[in-house]
């Protein structure tokens, strides 16, 4: 899906932007980590989500799948951090 490069990037940015609105991180390092994770997850799992829902390959659907995967990765990073803190694996709440 290299021909959908632009749509994928727009989707990932849109998903990260939405996630920032709904789930803001606690610090700058947390923001950087979540953004990088959203870029990687959005790129890798965007097509997986697209295939899972069996959407037709259009600009809107590629953007939507990229946004969903980026948003989910952002949310998972925050949830993983909270779980690690609750288990005592991390004692600082920096993210």
# binding residues, other proteins (CB under 8 A): 16
Does 20 interact with other proteins (rule: CB under 8 A)? Answer: yes
Residue 87 tokens read as: 């288990």
Q: How far is the CB of 46 from other proteins (least distance, A)?
A: 16
Q: How far is the CB of 93 from other proteins (least distance, A)?
A: 10
Q: How far is the CB of 57 from other proteins (least distance, A)?
A: 18
Q: Which of 1, 5, 6, 17 binds other proteins (CB under 8 A)?
A: 17
- The angle formed by the CA atoms of residues 19, 29 and 77, to the nearest 5 degrees, is 45
Does 64 interact with other proteins (rule: CB under 8 A)? Answer: yes
Non-local CB neighbours of 14 within 8 Å, separated by 6+ positions: 63, 66, 67, 70
Choice between 2 and 56, CB closer to other proteins: 56
* Residue ranges in 1-95 assigned as alpha helix (H): 5-22, 28-52, 59-86
The C-alpha atoms of residue 79 and residue 48 are separated, in whole angstroms, by 22
Which chain residues interact with other proteins by CB under 8 A?
17-18, 20-22, 24-31, 64, 92, 94
């Amino acid at each position: 899906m290299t021909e959908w490069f632009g749509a994928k990037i727009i989707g990932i940015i849109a998903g990260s932007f939405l996630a920032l609105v709904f789930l803001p991180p606690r610090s700058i390092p947390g923001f950087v980590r979540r953004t990088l994770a959203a870029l990687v997850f959005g790129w890798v799992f965007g097509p997986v989500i697209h295939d899972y829902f069996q959407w037709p390959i259009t600009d809107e659907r590629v953007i939507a799948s990229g946004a969903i995967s980026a948003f989910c990765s952002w949310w998972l990073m925050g949830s993983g951090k909270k779980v690690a803190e609750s288990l005592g694996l991390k004692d600082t709440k920096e993210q």
